[in-house]
Amino acid sequence: MGNGFGKVAPRTTRGTTNEGGNPIQTLLKCLLASFVFTGILLLLLAFLLFKLSLTEKIVSIAIIVIYVAACFVAGILAGKMLKRRRFLWGLVEGVIYFLVLFVLSIILNGSATVLADSCFTTFILCAGGGTLGGMLS
Protein backbone atom coordinates (compact mmCIF):
# COMPACT_ATOMS: atom_id res chain seq x y z
CA MET A 1 0.00 0.00 0.00
CA GLY A 2 1.50 3.29 -1.01
CA ASN A 3 0.57 6.60 0.49
CA GLY A 4 1.44 8.71 -2.54
CA PHE A 5 4.97 9.56 -1.37
CA GLY A 6 6.69 6.27 -2.13
CA LYS A 7 6.51 5.04 1.46
CA VAL A 8 4.52 2.07 2.61
CA ALA A 9 1.94 2.83 5.29
CA PRO A 10 2.25 0.61 8.37
CA ARG A 11 -0.45 -1.96 8.90
CA THR A 12 -2.29 -1.93 12.17
CA THR A 13 -4.25 -4.77 13.64
CA ARG A 14 -7.20 -3.83 15.77
CA GLY A 15 -7.13 -5.04 19.36
CA THR A 16 -3.51 -6.14 19.58
CA THR A 17 -0.63 -4.60 21.43
CA ASN A 18 2.39 -2.97 19.87
CA GLU A 19 4.43 -5.89 21.16
CA GLY A 20 2.23 -8.27 19.14
CA GLY A 21 0.73 -9.92 22.22
CA ASN A 22 -2.79 -10.98 22.93
CA PRO A 23 -4.91 -8.40 24.84
CA ILE A 24 -6.39 -11.13 27.03
CA GLN A 25 -2.93 -12.32 28.07
CA THR A 26 -1.91 -8.74 28.76
CA LEU A 27 -5.01 -8.16 30.90
CA LEU A 28 -4.33 -11.33 32.87
CA LYS A 29 -0.71 -10.30 33.47
CA CYS A 30 -1.84 -6.89 34.70
CA LEU A 31 -4.47 -8.52 36.91
CA LEU A 32 -1.88 -10.85 38.39
CA ALA A 33 0.40 -7.88 39.08
CA SER A 34 -2.45 -6.04 40.80
CA PHE A 35 -3.16 -9.01 43.07
CA VAL A 36 0.52 -9.33 43.97
CA PHE A 37 0.46 -5.58 44.75
CA THR A 38 -2.67 -6.15 46.86
CA GLY A 39 -0.98 -8.96 48.77
CA ILE A 40 2.06 -6.83 49.55
CA LEU A 41 -0.08 -3.94 50.77
CA LEU A 42 -2.27 -6.25 52.87
CA LEU A 43 0.84 -7.72 54.50
CA LEU A 44 2.03 -4.19 55.26
CA LEU A 45 -1.39 -3.38 56.71
CA ALA A 46 -1.28 -6.52 58.86
CA PHE A 47 2.14 -5.49 60.17
CA LEU A 48 0.86 -1.98 60.96
CA LEU A 49 -2.20 -3.46 62.64
CA PHE A 50 0.04 -5.63 64.80
CA LYS A 51 2.47 -2.82 65.71
CA LEU A 52 0.06 0.11 66.07
CA SER A 53 -3.19 -1.56 67.17
CA LEU A 54 -5.23 0.22 64.51
CA THR A 55 -8.98 0.59 64.93
CA GLU A 56 -11.45 -1.36 62.82
CA LYS A 57 -12.55 1.82 61.05
CA ILE A 58 -8.98 2.65 59.98
CA VAL A 59 -8.40 -0.92 58.77
CA SER A 60 -11.64 -0.84 56.73
CA ILE A 61 -10.64 2.44 55.09
CA ALA A 62 -7.14 1.10 54.41
CA ILE A 63 -8.57 -2.00 52.71
CA ILE A 64 -10.71 0.14 50.41
CA VAL A 65 -7.68 2.31 49.58
CA ILE A 66 -5.71 -0.85 48.79
CA TYR A 67 -8.44 -2.05 46.40
CA VAL A 68 -8.49 1.28 44.59
CA ALA A 69 -4.68 1.47 44.45
CA ALA A 70 -4.44 -2.07 43.04
CA CYS A 71 -7.02 -1.27 40.34
CA PHE A 72 -5.18 1.97 39.59
CA VAL A 73 -1.90 0.06 39.13
CA ALA A 74 -3.64 -2.53 36.94
CA GLY A 75 -5.13 0.27 34.83
CA ILE A 76 -1.74 1.95 34.40
CA LEU A 77 -0.09 -1.31 33.39
CA ALA A 78 -2.87 -2.21 30.96
CA GLY A 79 -2.84 1.26 29.42
CA LYS A 80 0.92 1.24 28.95
CA MET A 81 0.97 -2.25 27.48
CA LEU A 82 -2.09 -2.03 25.23
CA LYS A 83 -1.47 1.58 24.07
CA ARG A 84 -4.97 2.18 22.60
CA ARG A 85 -8.24 2.86 24.42
CA ARG A 86 -6.34 3.05 27.67
CA PHE A 87 -9.27 4.19 29.81
CA LEU A 88 -11.38 1.29 28.50
CA TRP A 89 -8.70 -1.29 29.32
CA GLY A 90 -8.30 0.27 32.75
CA LEU A 91 -12.05 0.00 33.29
CA VAL A 92 -11.95 -3.65 32.22
CA GLU A 93 -9.12 -4.31 34.70
CA GLY A 94 -11.07 -2.67 37.53
CA VAL A 95 -14.22 -4.64 36.75
CA ILE A 96 -12.34 -7.95 36.49
CA TYR A 97 -10.52 -7.19 39.75
CA PHE A 98 -13.87 -6.58 41.47
CA LEU A 99 -15.41 -9.74 40.01
CA VAL A 100 -12.49 -11.88 41.21
CA LEU A 101 -12.75 -10.24 44.63
CA PHE A 102 -16.51 -10.83 44.69
CA VAL A 103 -16.24 -14.50 43.68
CA LEU A 104 -13.46 -15.13 46.21
CA SER A 105 -15.58 -13.51 48.91
CA ILE A 106 -18.50 -15.81 48.08
CA ILE A 107 -16.26 -18.90 48.05
CA LEU A 108 -14.48 -18.08 51.30
CA ASN A 109 -17.53 -16.86 53.24
CA GLY A 110 -20.22 -19.06 51.73
CA SER A 111 -22.27 -16.01 50.76
CA ALA A 112 -21.97 -12.48 49.47
CA THR A 113 -23.15 -10.90 52.72
CA VAL A 114 -19.67 -9.51 53.48
CA LEU A 115 -19.70 -7.39 50.33
CA ALA A 116 -23.47 -6.85 50.25
CA ASP A 117 -23.35 -3.68 52.34
CA SER A 118 -20.79 -1.98 50.17
CA CYS A 119 -20.91 -4.06 46.98
CA PHE A 120 -21.97 -1.27 44.63
CA THR A 121 -19.58 1.22 46.19
CA THR A 122 -16.70 -1.24 45.96
CA PHE A 123 -17.56 -1.92 42.31
CA ILE A 124 -17.57 1.80 41.48
CA LEU A 125 -14.27 2.36 43.31
CA CYS A 126 -12.55 -0.55 41.56
CA ALA A 127 -13.87 0.43 38.14
CA GLY A 128 -13.01 4.08 38.75
CA GLY A 129 -9.50 3.28 40.00
CA GLY A 130 -8.80 1.14 36.95
CA THR A 131 -10.22 3.74 34.58
CA LEU A 132 -8.18 6.53 36.17
CA GLY A 133 -5.04 4.39 35.96
CA GLY A 134 -5.69 3.70 32.29
CA MET A 135 -6.29 7.39 31.56
CA LEU A 136 -3.09 8.45 33.31
CA SER A 137 -0.90 5.74 31.75
Tell me, what's the pLDDT at 62? 92
Tell me, what's the pLDDT at 9? 54
Instruction: Say if residues 76 and 14 touch (Cβ distance below 8 Å).
Output: no
pLDDT mean across residues, the chain:
84
Instruction: Say if residues 70 and 41 touch (Cβ distance below 8 Å).
Output: yes
- Most distant CA atoms of the chain, gap in Å: 71
| Averaged pLDDT for residues 95-107 | 90
How much is the pTM? 0.78
9-35 confidence digits (pLDDT tens): 555 555 444 454 688 899 999 999 999
pLDDT bin (cut points 50, 70, 90) of residue 109 is confident
Nearest Cα to Cα of residue 77 among 99, 93, 64, 65: 93
Rounded CA-CA distance 32/124 in Å is 20
